[in-house]
Amino acid sequence: MNLKYKVVFIISFLLISLSVGSSVMNYKKSLDETQLQLKESSMPLSIDNIYTEVQKNLIEPTLVSSMMANDTFLKDWLMNDEQDVFKISKYLEMVKNKYNMFSTFLVSDKSNNYYTSKGMLEKVKEKNANNAWYFKFKDIQDNYEINLDFNKYMGDSLIMFINYKILDDKYHYLGATGVGLKISYINEMLKHFRVKYNFNVYFVDKEGKVVLSETSVNTLKSINDKEELKALSSQILEQSSKVLEYSSENKHYILNTKYIKELHLYLIVEAQIENFTKEVEKTFIWNLITSLIITVIIIFIILITIKDYNKKLERFASYDNLTNLHNRRTFNQYFSKALKLYKRDNIKRSIIFFDIDNFKEINDSYGHLVGDIVLKRIADILKKEVRNSDSVSRWGGEEFLILLDDSDIEASFRVAEKIRVAFETDADLQDFVKGGVTASFGVTTFSDEDTMEDIISRVDVALYEAKNSGKNRVIKG
């Protein structure tokens, strides 16, 4: 591989590795920070906010139900004054309006009458499926329960009833009382938690049964129905708060649990981690794309710069900086190729070797600056007098070599003589140097057994013969 491309490849690899590596590291760091913030800050803070909302929206009705069950007026009425339906209706209406409840109710165990703020609605009967809740509640040990039920007298809407047992001073069962809340209201509250905090909130009882959840969103009936949650049920159903993690269907979840003693329920706040890392992922992708684009631009700039410098280096390596002619190294390459072609196609090729006469005296008399100007003018003349198919080089100092294609010794002699005359008669050279500038030439042609060294040696001898015989002339070698 060309060194230029090796350098570009290595730089590109390092830049892309740095770009991708830094983006991935920042992504992982942001991901870890997001999850840590979720566990240690967002969820605890949110569960406190949710608990505050629960206290406001659920605990207050529970406390109202408890207050009603312990109200001496209600107990006295059940034991001594049940025939006065108007009195109990007003009481239930007062509680309903005061605490803004959807409904208030009372069931007398003595008469099995079901009372609301509108009066007596019905008699509860064991054979009536709609009344089964009451007899079931009567038989449980707890004095309190939350029950979801339909009530035909309330528009067949799903109602959450908070039921409390009424006991006399000797703890004999007198009946049940409580309040009802529209489940749509509860559902809106849970929806608010999901939309505002991006958390799935639900309540389970001590058996793990889901008592309250957002309809159409949370379809879980019990935590025991989901293997991953079932494995954590013993920890979930502890009265101390917990932060738990589990994975399901390639999704990762964090649970924050809190026992609400007023409701005898466990509040579970569930967060899907991916919902909180979407922005981090978007930022990662954006940063990665941006960094890669910048990296590509940098690589492109580097490639252009290297290419430009490579051209300059190649030119420095191939051309003489002063005259802009081929240097000796490049000429040798052309010379070697021309010799091989000659031995293959046998087309005549020749060499002209010349040296500027008395050039040391020009430098000594006029200075090296004028000497350089003379060399540049010599190069300009050569470019005009020599064909584009021929190769001209500065061999060194004031010596020049010309490689002529398809040219025998006589034709090459004529070219050399033409150049000699051009130097001798050039007005610019005569302005630079008093008396003008001349050169001595040696000319030779290729032969079958020649090597590069043979040809150079022969033309060099011819040049020196021209020098020794009076200069400013062309000699065949």
Residues with catalytic function: 398
Q: How deeply is 416 buried, as exposed, middle or buried, from its count of CB atoms within 10 A (0-12, 13-18, 19+)?
A: buried
Whole-angstrom distance, CA of residue 299 vs CA of residue 14: 11
Strands 265-272 and 242-248, bridge-based pairing: unpaired
Q: Are 113 and 120 in contact (CB under 8 A)?
A: yes
- By C-alpha distance, which of 198, 338, 331 is closest to 270? 198
Q: Count, in order, helices (H) and strands (E) of the chain.
A: 16, 16
**Rounded to whole angstroms, what are the CA distances from 69 to 44, 75, 86, 88?**
34, 8, 19, 13
The H-or-E segment that residue 259 falls in is strand 251-260
**Rounded to whole angstroms, what are the CA distances from 34 to 29, 43, 105, 273, 311?**
9, 11, 48, 9, 52
Q: Are 359 and 440 in contact (CB under 8 A)?
A: no
Six-digit token string for 419: 């150049």
> Angle CA(458)–CA(391)–CA(414) in degrees, nearest 5?
60
CB-based burial, 213-245: b 16+ in 10 Å, e otherwise: bbeeebebeebeeeeebeebbeebbeeeebbbe
Those residues whose C-beta lies under 8 Å from the C-beta of residue 146, and which sit 6 or more positions away, are 62, 160, 161, 162, 163, 211, 212, 263, 265
- By C-alpha distance, which of 310, 429, 329 is closest to 380? 429
Whole-angstrom distance, CA of residue 266 vs CA of residue 47: 12
**Angle at which helices 409-425 and 368-385 cross, to 10°:** 140
Whole-angstrom distance, CA of residue 367 vs CA of residue 361: 9
Q: Are 146 and 211 in contact (CB under 8 A)?
A: yes
Query: Phi/psi class of residue 220: alpha, beta or left (left: φ > 0; alpha: ψ in -120 to 50)?
Result: beta
Q: Are 221 and 5 in contact (CB under 8 A)?
A: no
